[in-house]
Chain A
Amino acid sequence: MDILTWTYILVGLSFALYIGIAIYTRASSTKEFYTAGGGVSPLANGMATAADWMSAASFISMAGIIAFSGYDGSVYLMGWTGGYVLLALLLAPYLRKFGKFTVPDFVGDRYYSNKARVVAVFCALFISFTYVAGQMRGVGIVFSRYLEVDIETGVLIGMTIVFFYAVMGGMKGITYTQVAQYCVLIFAFMVPAIFISIQLTGNPIPQLGLGGTVQDGTYLLDKLDGILADLGFHQYTAGRKSLTDMFAITLALMVGTAGLPHVIVRFFTVPRVRDARLSAGYALVFIAILYTTAPAVAAFGIYNAIDTVAGQPVDNLPDWVENWQKTNLIVVEDKNNDGLVQYLANPESNELTVDKDIMVLAAPEIAELPNWVVGLVAAGGMAAALSTAAGLLLVISTSVSRDLFRTFVPAMTEKTELIIARMAAAVAVIIAGYFGINPPGFVAEVVAFAFGLAAASFFPVIIMGIFSTRMNKEGAIAGMISGLVFTLGYIIYFKFIHPEANNMDNWWFGISPEGIGSLGMLINFLACFVVSKFTPDPPEHVQEMIQDIRIPRGAGKAQDH
């Protein structure tokens, strides 16, 4: 069977599975809609968190980014995993003990203020919308590449699927579909990685293969360093970014990960505090499987691309190059008409342009694997994009129905709240779909900044809410607003107002807009401290509440008011 048939079969089967699960587990109460009834096992929640977390970008693009940036790509590897340590040690157990449904819930209650709650809702919506627009675009791209339909049609199909299980199933439906999506995506990522590793280094474990030797007996990484240096590129294992910037970006990504509302809410779904801790551990194991394989896929990919294409005759390139040239993801252009492909650092004379996504998308063909593996990778990419989109849509709908409507219309019945939650999810799907079809030019850039904003707004306020009994509402509101405004201002200045000035000479302390969230976080902390020193202590019942969330015993299932 050909690739397209296999893709239709495998993607179709996986969709049928997700919809089946969604129908079987649909939510019937707000508690089930927001937190899956609070009865998810730590292992299942770990898997769901991993799928929720790993987006189309992690699955398709990350290996490619690392392939072309080498050591500098480590910021994503460390940043997007290290945040789970913070989440497990500093946030998850306490927020679980607190036992409500959302992050603004916590901020509003802990800081005894509906103003703080509304600021938190605004941050949550802003972060989730920028993020989800990128996911919808990802869904569209995967569809159009594999199913050979327009991006628009792809986005519409994706919207329908997500609409179905996010709106119907709520958190309960999402959780169990995400478990299935994790299994699909990790299998799809690992199969080609393992085969390429065997082919190139003789070692079936990609993590070891990366440190292994290639056919001529030299180490892969040494060989790669040498080849790249010869072609005028930077060495693979050496960095180009400054130490300060590496540090700042890694920190912003770590802290941002721990502050992302759609990740935090996953820990409200387990029964006990100890399950929340354990669940964060499982989540990181499932994430680490992909995140430690990705750098291997990256190095294998760039090595293969150079080895099999660079210096070869233009009319005798491998089949996978011919195939992917049609999609413009690989462009070969014989500029000097010598009949050979020159791959060089100098853009004037370089004749080979490879899109970063190719490292994962073309992996099965490079490894000469059967056609069904290509279909599998397509299903994996879809799973990664859909699971993240669904998680984000849930945060958006919850923010609207619970944090806004419930706060200001407390007399609302549960049934009404559920209807509003579903309607909000539906509207969010449509808005996200609109941005997926008509992406504002900045979507791709903005997604990375969602982390900076999460780092600069939520993280410090939640941490202080747990670890300081002294922190009050004035401090928290000042902190969130100053952190958010500073970070947003810096990003907008360098990305939109003066993009030409966006270089190391103009950055504050040499920190790029990607890493500025770390500075925003410090400003947030500082504002919290200073303002709270000059304003009254939080009331007695809040101080008691803080004492209470620090102790595991007595955590019931996530409670309504």
Chain B
Amino acid sequence: MENHKQQMKKYWRQNIRTVLILLSIWFLVSFGFGILLAEPLNAIKIGGYKLGFWFAQQGSIFTFVVLIFVYVYKMNKLDEAFDVNEK
């Protein structure tokens, strides 16, 4: 039982770590690239897009989608590893 509790603590810590990593990327692409650093990034151009503007209106949204699917994949793995997945 004690062992099980330890395991669950470990599961929760790894869960938190995954979430924190993904949320820092979430913050970086939107608040970072899209807002705070948008002006310097606008000096770089990709096709017709200024990079800061692209992150604010396109790039951040694409990244958000990818982040959720990475989270789904990582969590399904983690659930399996700790044997807490749903049958």
Chain A residues close to B by CB (< 8 Å):
66, 71, 73-74, 77-78, 81-82, 84-86, 88-90, 93, 207, 210-213, 219-222, 237-239, 243, 246-247, 250-251, 254, 272-274, 277-278, 280-281, 284-285, 288, 291-292, 295, 547, 550-555
Residues of A within 8 A of B31 (CB): 247, 250-251
Interface of B (DSSP majority class): helix
- Evaluate contact between B58 and A295: CB separation under 8 angstroms: yes
Alpha-carbon gap, A288 to B19, bound state (A): 21
Give the residue name and chain of the A residue nearest to B25 (CB): A85
Q: Residues of B contacting A237 with CB < 8 Å?
A: 42, 50, 53
- Chain B stretch 31-87: residues in CB contact (< 8 A) with chain A: 31, 34-36, 38, 42, 46-50, 53-54, 56-58, 60-62, 64-65, 67-69, 71-72, 75-76, 79, 84-86
In the docked arrangement, what's the CA distance between A21 and B25, Å? 41
A553 x B35 contact (CB < 8 A)? no
With A74-B57, A281-B65 given, is the CB distance from A210 to B23 under 8 Å?
Answer: no
Contact assessment for B60 and A78 in the assembled complex, using a CB-CB cutoff below 8 Å: yes
Whether B47 contacts A284 by the Cβ 8 Å rule is: no
| In-complex Cβ contact of A88 among B50, B60, B71, B84 (8 A) | B71
In contact, B86 and A553 (Cβ under 8 angstroms)? yes
Chain B positions within 8 Å of A553 at CB level: 79, 84-86
A274 to B8, CA, bound (A): 18
Report A539 CB to chain B, min CB distance, Å.
Answer: 19
Cβ contacts A to B, 18 pairs, < 8 Å? A71-B38, A74-B34, A77-B56, A77-B57, A88-B71, A89-B71, A211-B46, A219-B48, A221-B48, A247-B31, A274-B85, A277-B72, A281-B71, A288-B64, A291-B61, A552-B84, A553-B86, A554-B86
For the complex, what is the distance from the CA of A251 to the CA of B22, rounded to whole Å?
17
User: For residue B54, which residues in chain A have a CB less than 8 angstroms away from its CB?
Assistant: 211
Q: Which residues of B contact A222 (CB under 8 A)?
A: 48
In the complex, residue of chain B having the shortest beta-carbon distance to the beta carbon of A80? B61
Chain B interface residue bracket vs A:
35 or more
A292 touches B48 (CB 8 A): no
In the complex, chain B residues whose CB is within 8 Å of the CB of A243: 35-36
Residues B56 and A74 in contact, CB atoms below 8 Å apart = yes
Whether the Cβ atoms of A82 and B48 lie closer than 8 Å is: no
Knowing A250-B30, A288-B65 touch, does A274 contact B23 (C-beta < 8 A)?
no
Distance of A84 Cα from B63 Cα, bound (Å): 12
Q: A85-B22, A551-B11 are in contact. Are A247 and B71 (CB under 8 A)?
A: no
Given contacts A246-B35, A274-B76, A555-B86, contact A81 B64 (CB under 8 A): yes
CA distance in complex: A89, B64 (Å): 11
CA distance A221 to B75 in the complex (A): 40
Q: In chain B, what residue has the closest Cβ to A218?
A: B48
Question: Within the complex, what minimum Cβ distance (angstroms) separates A11 from chain B?
Answer: 30
Indicate with 1 or 0, residue by residue over B1-41, a CB within 8 angstroms of chain A CB atoms: 00000001001100100010011001000110011101000
Residues from chain B with Cβ under 8 Å of A274 in the complex: 72, 75-76, 79, 85-86
Give the A-B pair count, Cβ closer than 8 A: 136
Which residue of A has the minimal Cβ distance to B79? A552
CB nearest neighbor in B for A254: B30
Q: A238-B42, A280-B68 are in contact. List 9 more A-B contacts (CB 8 A).
A: A77-B56, A89-B71, A239-B38, A246-B35, A254-B30, A288-B61, A288-B65, A292-B62, A295-B58
A residues near B46, Cβ cutoff 8 Å: 211
* Nearest CB of A to B13, in Å: 11
B72 proximity list for chain A (CB < 8 A): 88, 274, 277-278, 281
- Of A85, A89, A212, which is within 8 A of B47 by CB? A212
| CB nearest neighbor in B for A88 | B68
With known contacts A273-B86, A288-B64, A211–B48 Cβ distance under 8 A? yes
A81 lies within 8 A of B48 (CB): no
A213 touches B68 (CB 8 A): no
CA distance A243 to B47 in the complex (A): 26
B67 touches A211 (CB 8 A): no
Decide: B68 and A82 in contact? CB cutoff 8 A: no
> Looking across the interface, which residue of chain B has its beta carbon closest to that of A77?
B57
Instruction: Report the separation of the CA atoms of residues A211 and B79 in the bound assembly, to the nearest whole angstrom.
Output: 41
B29 to chain A, nearest CB (A): 9
Find chain B residues with CB under 8 A from A251 CB: 31
Q: Contact at A82–B53, with CB atoms within 8 Å?
A: no
Please name the residue on chain A nearest to B76 by beta carbon: A274
- Contact yes or no, B61 A77, CB < 8 A: yes
Please judge, given known A-B contacts A82-B26, A84-B68, A89-B22, whether A212 and B50 are in contact too, CB under 8 Å: no
A250 CA to B72 CA, complexed, in Å? 25
Tell me if A81 and B61 are in contact (CB < 8 A).
Answer: yes
Q: Which residues from A are CB-within-8-Å of B12?
A: 550
Would B47 and A82 count as touching, CB distance under 8 A?
no
Least CB separation from A239: chain B residue: B38
Given A284-B68, A555-B86: A219 in contact with B75 (beta carbons within 8 A): no
Determine the distance from Cα of A285 to Cα of B26 in the docked complex, in whole angstroms.
16
A467 → chain B, closest Cβ, in Å?
8
Asked if A547 contacts B84 (CB within 8 A), the reply is: no
A513–B33 CA distance with the chains assembled, in angstroms = 24
Q: Which 9 pairs, one residue from A and one from B, show the smallest C-beta to C-beta distance?
A: A219-B48, A74-B56, A281-B68, A211-B48, A295-B57, A211-B49, A211-B47, A237-B53, A553-B84
